[in-house]
A and B are shown apart, each in its own frame.
Chain A
Amino acid sequence: MDIIRIKNLNAGFPTKRGLVRAATSVDLTIREGECLGLIGESGCGKTVLGMTIMRLLQPNTIISGEIFYKGQNLLALKEEEMRKLRGKELGMILQNSTTSLNPVLSVGDQIAEGIILHEGLRKKEAREKATELLEKVQIKNAAVMSKRYPHEFSGGMRERAMIAIALACSPSFVIADEPTTGLDNRTMKGVISLLAEVAKSKSMLFITHDLAAASEICDTIAVMYAGEIVEWGDVDEVFSAPLHPYTSGLLNSLPERGFIAIPGSSPSLIDLPGGCRFKERCACSEERCARAHPLMKEISSSHKVRCHRYD
């Protein structure tokens, strides 16, 4: 059973310089219990995809396509109905935990907020539940810490608090947007193992550019480049036998694989090139790459790629 099914999703921001096409014809599905890792360079549209699912992009964003959550199209819902799903059914762990917590409210109160909003508990009961949640995300002294303010938390603890907020109303689908960015190695490992624990019991979209974390947590991987999905498949297949040159490039840029950077930089999302969007940086680009835009091709039932080499 699919919990999330994205069909031909396009998202664009109108600006003075032109339309920024942050997502182009994205097709993805996430099965019940699956954790999909969305990887790609900064600015390729990963976060936009997550925010589109939550329907929290700025109101002037041009969105087309369909996003089905358990069969209902999120993009067709009224704002009010969507609000009932946010937090309750769809949880999200935001990027950058330092600024994602309100500095003037205690952490416990911020976790309790969602519980009060959705489950109608009283403040006291919600606070107790918040403390339990802090315990669940392995914060020591949870009862004391829930009364503390965000600036009294370390980076790793703040990240854990963010996870607790996202899990407060036990949503069935969680989006984690680069939850490990900005943490040191050891703290990061702790957060990753916590997320892996979460991923066991929930369906998840894990947005990251940390490939190691993705391989640890995710069941499937989707690689995004310049607003489109270029490769999508089982985590082991994608990482051990990448099909798209961009995926190979990402893997080769890892320190343990030689630290080889992909030459050039990704194209501007306002002025996207015709043909294959990766051709300028691709080592094996051919004449037809400039001519025709490659389509998503199914190589096996668990592996798809958007590249002319497999036509």
Chain B
Amino acid sequence: MSKKNLAMSVSIAIFAIYLLIALFAPLLTPYDPFIIAGGIYEEPSPEHLLGTNDLAQDIFSQLIYGTRATLLLGFTGAILSVSIGTAIGIVSGYYGGRVDEFITRTLDIVMTIPTFPLLLVMMMFFTPGIYVTGILMGLLGSARGVRVIRSQVLSIAQMNFITGVKVMGASDLYVMAKHVLPNLLSLVTVQFVFSAQHFMVMGIGLGFLGLGDSNVIDWGQMIDRAYQNGGVINGLWWWLIPPGMAVTFLSLSLALFGYSMEDEINPRMKLTRI
């Protein structure tokens, strides 16, 4: 097995573990993460693997449940942003001319607005909820992917087989959906993986800033709680470090997967590594 394949397998394996944990969270947790499970600020023990927090909730159970929120947030954002970005990119690259000019210029303006502060401001206007956050992130982040998709579509649209399909009497919409999109699939996958990673980390950032959904547990809110309620001052590492590590490994596995996918689809990058 080559190094690159190894990287891909490892990343898939790590991600699969996260996915399984998220799916089977109720089976893996000894306590409901919201209930009072013992005393407050308990140290790690066989009953509480990672101790308890200031509200006497089991930290290990919270960590497990937090996987769900983080994955959900990342994927909602990624699905939305990649669909919007791909659709706009295809239209822009396929029609070219004025349509392209308009979209590209608008995008230039949109790109100058920093996403994260805008997201913070917009969050104020909505009831914080995990889907609301995901959708907002997806909408604001969709500009990122448009350029990459557009540039690829520009070259696909010039290919002979596109004329071939038009010769058969196909409409533009048909050509875009059936002939342009399938040729973009690998690129879209890579975009999706990187967006998911980006939005997961962003979602945790929001949780840490106190903008998370208070009805669910996510790692950002856990770290936030540890900061606010004496976890750091008292050196309760089992409260702070595990959610941090969980984020790091998840993010790492997605990044690794994204890069190895990118290598796979881009022959030029492959050559330079030999």
Contact = CB atoms under 8 A, between A and B. Distances in A.
Contact of B170 (A59, A105, A113, A168): A113
A97 B174 CA distance: 21
A113 B168 contact: yes
A87 interface: yes
A218 to B, nearest CB: 21
Contacts of A166: 167
B151 interface: no
A154 interface: no
A5 interface: no
B21 interface: no
Interface in B169-210: 169-171, 174, 178-179, 182-183, 185
Interface in B34-50: none
B60 to A, nearest CB: 47
A114 interface: yes
Interface in B126-169: 159-161, 163-169
Nearest to B167: A92
Contacts, number: 65
Given A102-B179, A104-B183, A117 B169 contact: yes
B69 to A, nearest CB: 37
Interface in A78-109: 83-88, 91-92, 94-96, 99-105
A165 interface: yes
A189 B170 CA distance: 32
Contacts of B164: 94, 100-102, 162, 165
Interface residues of B, number: 19
A303 B180 CA distance: 46
A83 B170 CA distance: 7
B169 A114 contact: yes
Given A94-B164, A99-B159, A86 B182 contact: no
Nearest to B180: A102
Given A87-B169, A117-B169, A94 B163 contact: yes
Nearest to A91: B167
B55 to A, nearest CB: 54
A117 B160 contact: no
B165 A113 contact: yes
Nearest to B183: A104
Given A84-B169, A92-B167, A99-B160, 11 more contacts: A54-B167, A56-B166, A59-B97, A83-B170, A86-B166, A86-B169, A94-B160, A100-B160, A102-B164, A104-B185, A113-B170
Interface of B: 97, 159-161, 163-171, 174, 178-179, 182-183, 185
Interface of A: 54, 56, 59, 83-88, 91-92, 94-96, 99-105, 113-114, 117-118, 162, 165-166, 168
Chain A to chain B: the 7 pairs with minimum beta-carbon distance, closest first: A87-B169, A86-B169, A87-B168, A114-B168, A99-B160, A100-B160, A92-B167
